Amino acid sequence: MQASVSPLLETVVDPWAGGPLGNAVRWETRAAGRGVAVAGTVGFPFAPAWEAQLRDAVAAALAGAGQTLESFELNTRVAAHQVQPGLAPLPGVRNVVAVASGKGGVGKSTTAVNLALALQRMGARVGVLDADIYGPSVPAMLGLSGRPESPDNKSIEPMRAFGVEAMSIGLLVDTDTPMIWRGPMATSALMQLLGDTRWGELDYLVVDLPPGTGDIQLTLAQKIPVAGAVIVTTPQEIATLDARKALRMFEKVQVPVLGIVENMAMHVCSRCGHVEHLFGQGGGQAMAAAYGVPLLGSLPLDLRIREQGDAGTPVVVAAPDSEPAQAYLRAAQAMAARLAARPRASIPLATRTL
């Protein structure tokens, strides 16, 4: 029975991304009752809605072959994935994911925070490192205040919000204190924030990079083991021009780009439902096609995203069932799935079942 069912399961189509799942899910089957018990293991966290739709797709595939789905179980096993040559994954941190943009003002920090919270909602252990030394915004977006503790006066305990660990220079200085530092001091601060923080066992550490392709980005690419990067842009041409530079930078330093998030893709009028593409249309999709990377998601220009970010309760937390929150959830899962398809780290590290 298993020999006949297994090829069927490999043809099951991803209910969100489309295309066959193939080896992205490792299936186990056995006879049960009058049908087949199916258990799958995936290398990324997933939303409950995706699991339910995948179950329906599996049941349909079996029914087409005259089989009945008796039971269905899906588990996650997150592994550490390959990083730049000459570097190894951080102890306790399976995957560092950089969120970058070519220019400011495209919603990169909002995207980074909501992607991290979406991964956490799906069951992953997640941290956020605010690498924007000059303009840290993660503490405000997560509603964090006060100072982190240092149990030994050498290392720092990350602060926590909504189940996510976080560290930022903004937690160590007053809100209105400017960082009037040259590049070497800023990069040294980044390395200290990363290395001196007592991160827990994390499946993903999301790094919110400053805009551009300067010293901070170069330090990250050369000294920090990064499993993948996400590029954030708006649809307009002037934004995608700069986003392309960020993408090419990661290519040059051998960091895989997991995909593109198109922010402010459209505005839906709250009164009449009219859809307007205020910043152009299709820019993110065209960029993704040009560079052969997936478009992970298109996020709306929605008042709730701004209001809830300003209030320190991001939309994924404040309105989890809203369309913007669901869009972040789908983008986070697509990003994690893309990473799971990458080669695993050569240094053997234990995986963790969620």
CA distance 24 to 12: 11
| Whole-number pLDDT of residue 351 | 45
Q: Which residues of the chain have pLDDT under 50?
A: 348-354
* SS3 assignment, position 197: strand
Overall number of domains in the chain: 2
| Whole-number pLDDT of residue 83 | 94
| Whole-number pLDDT of residue 347 | 59
CA 271 to chain centroid: 32
Residues paired with 96 in a beta bridge: 205
| Whole-number pLDDT of residue 104 | 81
CA distance 195 to 9: 43
CA distance 354 to 352: 6
65 in the same domain as 168? no
CA distance 80 to 90: 9
Per residue in 287-310, pLDDT tens?
999 989 999 999 888 888 988 899
Rg of the chain taking only CA atoms, in angstroms: 21
In a domain, 125, yes or no: yes
| Whole-number pLDDT of residue 352 | 42
| Whole-number pLDDT of residue 281 | 81
**pTM of the complete model beyond 0.85:** yes
Residue 22: Cβ within 10 Å count: 12
Task: Provide the domain limits for residue 39.
Answer: 2-77
| Whole-number pLDDT of residue 176 | 75
* SS3 assignment, position 235: coil
In a domain, 60, yes or no: yes
| Whole-number pLDDT of residue 353 | 42
7 in the same domain as 105? no
Q: Any idea what the CATH number is for the domain that residue 25 is in?
A: 3.30.300.130
In a domain, 351, yes or no: no
CB of 262 within 8 A of CB of 300? no
Identity (one letter) of the amino acid at 320?
P
CA distance 182 to 195: 20
| Whole-number pLDDT of residue 313 | 96
CA distance 92 to 204: 10
